[in-house]
């Protein structure tokens, strides 16, 4: 075990009076000690059953004091669940709020980070108001909302730092006074040593080195990831050793890399000051590897570390506990006396205890009135039905009842009294219905920002055409749309693989980098996770990124970032943060196993919280972009891979007409059957409809245009009311997005009641399509497949009129 001497000369106190210096240090110690108490008490709260799970920052307190000292207003943090001390030191969290989150208190303001939705130590600061409008982000210490997947914070971190570069270098952004002061903000990242094994860590480290952005990554190294020691995690068991090649030198840019012991308070203060100055002033990424940290209480409340740490390791951890070491240094260097320290510790214990009690009592007190009301209401019904008295008595005697117990009692009483109508029952019913509103707000609201710039608030502007309107390639429609919007809004930026210099693989951005500059339209490395993270970070800082995934098939490489971080952001923060990223990609049928994908059900399943636009051509895509560019919610737009060279008529207002989201269109009217399809398949359906009309079958074709949201004006069910037959056609797997569409139309829109035959789906095969035209023909729905499926449905309904063809 290491046995370094305590450093005593590493904090530069030359400009402070001894008393000032002393009070800073003692205050730091107080924060660290309070934080430790919060961890100890927090664990106890879980073990006694008052909270469900706890993960704490014990053993990581002292480096976070140093990090907090270097962190200024306007800076950003993207970290993980160990950072409570940092949150206390910066004022991002109070100790009471920390406990409120531990108890999952959903009362407004109790857990200001997630509204009681996230596990403890998942912090966030308020970037936006209820109506989606921005706060002044230069005036606060910003904390992007934490997520639990380890390493998941790294992708977003790249974007948070990249925003500083754009704010510093692009003078056109100077008017955005509430977002940046000349790009001087540092993005601080934290990550555990074991999580540096994740691919996203390496991707982010490389991206920031290439981009040269002010990103400061701290690695809290306690030599373990739960039970798995460093020898299974990291080559040479030393991440900064591994990353040495990233160190900059006189000839080549790169990183400044620092290594410091996590129990050495003065050394930590010095390193952080130095590192963050380099990062902030020179816009150079820095990495601070903080070693020799411990976990006094083990990883989390899920188990004890005595199971997997050796006796030697455990006794080393006791000896090298960073708070103990800081205490010893304070005594040794005469910063404080034993009595002074003991006084701080005594007060801290009382303070934390009180904060915990207050948080717990407030949580219970928020539910008690509901409990009492329900007990009274059910008791009053008992005169009609004696068995209800038991339910009321049960609930009355439940100490520390939570909402679940209250509502279980209410719903049981309502069920049991279904055939005993009484005024008392009506009162309980009314109470229950009224509470549903509050519970929806507490537990189900804010999947989207739903503010004043939500997509459905954007005015609908029709495309304008006249005799002069030209027929152009689809890609030129997009190009003109992007051009006009980039001229209109300096916040727009676009980036992705091959997007800058050549203007993307299908030329949608051709010529625009030359016009708007490399800062706004730029190439990136092949790194889908951090392209998405770049978008998230920029969007969180007030910019409007178009983050491109070259082919829809490669969205899978970024799905974790989109699902865990972007799609969940509004919900997990209960609407205090937003990231209106527009993910641009292209998909559906083309050629080959990885260039003709349409994995729509994967997206539908993973990205609730985002909008999903599936335009049938580039004009519709442009209209959707025009809506999204003016709105503030994230979306994926899937352009049709096989549509860039097809001719379309260029609207006169290509940069400003809008296609509203959720607005389905009847593409062709018909009377016999409704066919719902989207994207590239629609052209095939239209071709099939032509032949079907020769066979005397009239097809109504509907394009929902967006799948999230889906047909908000009930176009599908209205069509079904007329035709009574339904076929869904798409290129996803069987039971994929077509099943989603059936659920929407048959169940939500109640289309079931209009059917006179079995509804059907026609999708691609379960495998991906083989390369070549024949691979496509035998794997994806063809014109022939559609004609025959529809004909068969008509035959089933009327075999005389439509005799069997096979």
The residues assigned a catalytic role are: 595
Residue nearest to ligand TPP (CB): 192
Residue 792 binds which of ligand TPP, Mg ion, none (CB < 5-8 A, kind-dependent): none
Residue 403, sorted as left (phi over 0), alpha (psi -120 to 50) or beta, turns out to be alpha
Residue 719, interface with ligand TPP (CB under 6 A)? Answer: no
Among 33, 71, 113, 220, binds ligand TPP (CB under 6 A): 220
What would the x/- binding string for ligand TPP be over residues 80 to 119, using CB under 6 A? --x-------------------------------------
Interacting residue with Mg ion among 78, 120, 142, 193 (CB under 5 A): 193
3-state secondary structure of 783: helix
Q: How far is the CB of 187 from ligand TPP (least distance, A)?
A: 19
What is the C-alpha separation between 612 and 662, in angstroms, rounded?
10
Both structure tokens of 334: 């005469």
- Tell me if 293 sits within 8 A of 3, measured CB to CB: no
CA distance linking residue 583 with residue 635, whole number of Å: 6
Q: Which of 141, 299, 544, 616 binds ligand TPP (CB under 6 A)?
A: 299
Q: Is 476 in the site for Mg ion (CB under 5 A)?
A: no
List all residues 6 or more positions away from 442 whose beta carbon is below 8 Å from its beta carbon. 106, 115, 116
CB of 225 to ligand TPP, least distance (A): 3
Chain position whose Cβ is nearest to Mg ion: 192
Stretch of residues binding ligand TPP (CB under 6 A), selected from 31-39, 68-76, 190-198, 372-380: 190-198
Q: Is 79 in the site for Mg ion (CB under 5 A)?
A: no
Tell me whether residue 195 or residue 656 sits nearer to ligand TPP (CB atom): 195
| Interacting span for Mg ion (CB under 5 A) from 125-133, 184-192, 359-367, 503-511 | 184-192
Q: Are 81 and 55 in contact (CB under 8 A)?
A: yes
In the complex, the smallest distance separating the C-beta of residue 560 from ligand TPP, rounded to whole angstroms, is: 8
Work out the angle at residue 148's Cα, subtended by the Cα atoms of residues 196 and 188, and round it to the nearest 5 degrees.
Answer: 55
What letter would DSSP give residue 150?
T
How far apart are CB 318 and ligand TPP at their closest, in Å?
Answer: 17
| β partners of residue 220 | 192, 290
Cα separation, 67 vs 80, whole angstroms: 14
- The answer to the question of residue 191 lying near Mg ion (CB under 5 A) is no
Q: Shortest gap between Cβ of 237 and Mg ion (angstroms)?
A: 12
Report CA Rg, the chain: 30
Can you state the angle between helices 783-797 and 681-694, rounded to 10 degrees?
Answer: 50
Quote the least distance from Cβ 268 to ligand TPP, whole Å.
17
The minimum distance between CB 192 and ligand TPP, in angstroms, equals: 2
Residue span binding ligand TPP (CB under 6 A) among the ranges 216-224, 313-321, 616-624, 710-718: 216-224
- Residues in binding contact with Mg ion, number by CB under 5 A: 5
Q: Which does 517 bind (CB under 5 to 8 A by kind): Mg ion, ligand TPP, none?
A: none
Using the minimum distance from each CB to ligand TPP, give the nearer residue, 147 or 685: 147
222, 292, 730, 731: which one binds Mg ion (CB under 5 A): 222
Give the C-alpha separation, 251 to 465, whole Å: 56
Please report whether residue 709 would count as binding ligand TPP according to CB under 6 A.
no
527 binds, among Mg ion, ligand TPP, none (CB under 5 to 8 A by kind): none
Q: How many helices (H) and strands (E) does the chain have?
A: 27, 22
Which one of ligand TPP, Mg ion, none interacts with residue 226, CB within 5 to 8 A by kind? ligand TPP
Quick check: 568 binds ligand TPP (CB under 6 A)?
Answer: no
Among positions 61, 203, 222, 476, the unique one binding ligand TPP when judged by CB under 6 A: 222
> In which region does residue 614 sit, left (phi positive, over 0), alpha (psi from -120 to 50) or beta (all else)?
beta
Q: Is 754 in the site for ligand TPP (CB under 6 A)?
A: no
φ/ψ region of 772 (left if φ > 0, alpha if ψ in -120 to 50, else beta) reads: left
Burial readout 426-465 (b: 16 or more C-beta within 10 A, e: otherwise): eebeeebeebeeeeeebeeebebbbbebbbbebeebebee
* Shortest Cβ 57–Mg ion spacing (Å): 12
Instruction: Check whether the bond before 695 is cis (ω within 30° of 0).
Output: no
Stretch that binds ligand TPP, among 2-10, 18-26, 218-226, 418-426 (CB under 6 A): 218-226
Residues 6+ apart with CB under 8 A from 230: 193, 194, 221, 223, 224, 237, 238
Site pattern 333..372 for ligand TPP (x: CB under 6 A): ----------------------------------------
Minimum distance from CB of 223 to ligand TPP (Å)?
Answer: 8
- Per the structure block, which two tokens stand in for 555? 């969205």
Strands 706-708 and 611-613, by their bridges, are antiparallel
Residue 55 engages Mg ion in binding (rule: CB under 5 A): no
Which of 125, 193, 479, 680 is in the footprint of ligand TPP by CB under 6 A?
A: 193
CB closer to Mg ion, 59 vs 535 = 59
Q: Is 615 in the site for Mg ion (CB under 5 A)?
A: no
CA distances from 758 to 185, 764, 789, 791, 796 (A): 60, 19, 12, 13, 9
Distance CA 46, CA 51 (A): 5
Q: Does 217 bind ligand TPP (CB under 6 A)?
A: no
Does 192 bind Mg ion (CB under 5 A)? Our answer is: yes
242 scored as a contact of ligand TPP (CB under 6 A): no
Instruction: Say if residues 98 and 122 touch (Cβ distance below 8 Å).
Output: no
Q: Out of Mg ion, ligand TPP, none, which partner does residue 299 contact, by CB within 5 to 8 A per kind?
A: ligand TPP
Stretch that binds Mg ion, among 77-85, 186-194, 300-308, 509-517 (CB under 5 A): 186-194
- Residue 40 and residue 58 in contact, taking contact as beta carbons nearer than 8 Å: yes
Residue 390: CB atoms within 10 Å: 11
Which among ligand TPP, Mg ion, none contacts residue 598 (Cβ within 5 to 8 A by kind)?
A: none
Shortest distance (Å) from residue 276 CB to ligand TPP:
22
Q: Which of the residues 140 through 159 are near ligand TPP (CB under 6 A)?
A: 148-150
CA distance 263 to 665: 64
Name which of 388, 383, 264 is nearest 322 in CA terms: 264
Minimum Å gap between C-beta 426 and ligand TPP is 47
Q: Note the residues at the interface with ligand TPP (CB under 6 A).
A: 82, 148-150, 192-195, 220, 222, 224-226, 299
Q: Note the residues at the interface with Mg ion (CB under 5 A).
A: 192-194, 222, 224
């Amino acid at each position: 075990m290491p046995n370094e001497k305590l450093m005593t000369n590493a904090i530069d106190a030359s400009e402070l009076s001894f008393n000032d210096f002393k009070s800073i240090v003692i205050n730091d110690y107080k924060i660290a000690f309070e934080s430790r108490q919060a961890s100890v008490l927090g664990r106890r709260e879980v073990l006694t059953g008052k909270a469900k799970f706890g993960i704490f920052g014990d053993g990581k307190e002292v480096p976070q004091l140093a990090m907090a000292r270097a962190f200024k207003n306007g800076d950003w943090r993207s970290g993980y669940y160990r950072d409570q001390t940092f949150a206390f030191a910066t004022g991002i969290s109070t100790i009471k709020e920390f406990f409120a989150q531990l108890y999952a208190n959903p009362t407004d303001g109790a857990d200001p980070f997630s509204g009681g939705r996230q596990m403890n130590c998942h912090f966030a600061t308020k970037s936006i108001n209820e109506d989606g409008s921005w706060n002044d982000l230069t005036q606060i210490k910003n904390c992007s909302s934490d997520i639990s997947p380890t390493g998941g914070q790294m992708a977003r971190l790249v974007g948070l730092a990249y925003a500083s570069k754009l704010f510093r270098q692009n003078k056109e952004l100077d008017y955005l006074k509430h977002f940046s002061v000349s790009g001087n903000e540092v993005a601080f990242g934290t990550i555990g040593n074991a999580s540096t094994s994740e691919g996203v860590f390496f991707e982010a480290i490389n991206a920031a080195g290439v981009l040269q952005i002010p990103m400061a990554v701290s690695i809290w190294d306690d030599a373990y990831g739960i039970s798995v020691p460093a020898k299974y995690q990291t080559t040479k068991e030393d991440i900064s050793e591994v990353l040495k090649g990233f160190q900059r030198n006189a000839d080549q840019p790169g990183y400044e890399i620092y290594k410091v012991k996590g129990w050495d308070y003065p050394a930590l203060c010095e390193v952080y000051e130095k590192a963050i100055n380099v990062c902030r002033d020179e816009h150079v990424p820095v990495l601070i590897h903080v070693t020799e940290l411990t976990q006094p209480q083990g990883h989390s409340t899920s188990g004890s570390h005595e199971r997997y740490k050796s006796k030697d390791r455990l006794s080393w951890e006791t000896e090298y506990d960073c708070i103990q070491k800081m205490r010893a240094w304070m005594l040794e260097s005469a910063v404080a006396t034993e009595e002074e320290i003991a006084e701080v510790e005594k007060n801290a214990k009382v303070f934390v205890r009180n904060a915990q009690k207050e948080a717990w009592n407030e949580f219970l007190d928020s539910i008690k009135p509901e409990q009492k009301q329900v007990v009274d209401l059910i008791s009053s019904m008992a005169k009609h039905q004696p068995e209800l008295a038991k339910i009321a008595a049960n609930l009355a005697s439940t100490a520390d009842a939570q909402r679940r117990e209250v509502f279980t009692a209410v719903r049981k009483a309502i069920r049991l009294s279904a055939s005993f109508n009484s005024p008392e029952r009506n009162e309980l019913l009314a109470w229950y219905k009224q509470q549903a509103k509050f519970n929806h707000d507490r537990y189900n609201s804010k999947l989207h920002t739903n503010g004043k710039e939500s997509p459905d608030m954007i005015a609908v502007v029709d495309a304008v055409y006249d005799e002069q309107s030209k027929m152009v390639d689809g890609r030129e429609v997009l190009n003109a749309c992007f051009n006009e919007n980039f001229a209109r809004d300096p916040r727009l930026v676009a980036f992705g693989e091959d997007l800058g210099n050549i203007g993307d693989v299908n030329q949608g951005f051709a010529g625009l980098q030359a016009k708007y500059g490399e800062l706004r339209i730029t190439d990136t490395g092949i790194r889908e996770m951090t392209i998405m993270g770049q978008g998230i970070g920029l969007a969180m800082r007030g910019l409007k990124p178009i983050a491109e995934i070259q082919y829809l098939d490669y969205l899978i490489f970024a799905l974790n970032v989109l699902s865990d971080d972007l799609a969940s952001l509004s919900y997990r923060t209960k609407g205090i943060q937003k990231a209106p990223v527009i993910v641009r990609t292209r998909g559906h049928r083309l050629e080959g196993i990885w260039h003709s994908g349409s994995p729509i059900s994967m997206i539908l399943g993973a990205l609730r919280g985002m909008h999903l636009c599936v335009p049938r051509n580039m004009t519709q895509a442009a209209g959707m972009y025009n809506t999204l560019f003016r709105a503030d919610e994230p979306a994926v737009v899937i352009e049709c891979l096989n549509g860039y060279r097809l001719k379309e008529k260029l609207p006169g207002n290509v940069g400003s007409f809008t296609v509203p989201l959720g607005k389905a269109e009847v593409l062709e009217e018909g009377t016999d059957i409704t066919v719902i399809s989207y994207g590239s398949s629609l052209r095939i359906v239209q071709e099939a409809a032509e032949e079907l009309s020769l066979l005397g079958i009239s097809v109504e074709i509907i394009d929902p245009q967006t799948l999230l949201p889906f047909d908000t004006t009930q176009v599908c069910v209205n069509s079904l009311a007329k035709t009574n037959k339904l076929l869904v056609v798409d290129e996803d797997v069987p039971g994929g997005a077509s099943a989603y569409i059936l659920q929407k139309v048959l169940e939500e829109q109640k289309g079931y009641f209009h059917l006179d035959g079995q509804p059907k789906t026609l999708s691609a095969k379960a495998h991906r399509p083989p390369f070549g035209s024949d691979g496509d023909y035998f794997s994806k729905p063809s014109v022939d497949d559609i004609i025959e499926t529809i004909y068969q449905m008509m035959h089933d309904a009327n075999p005389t009129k439509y005799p069997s063809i096979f």
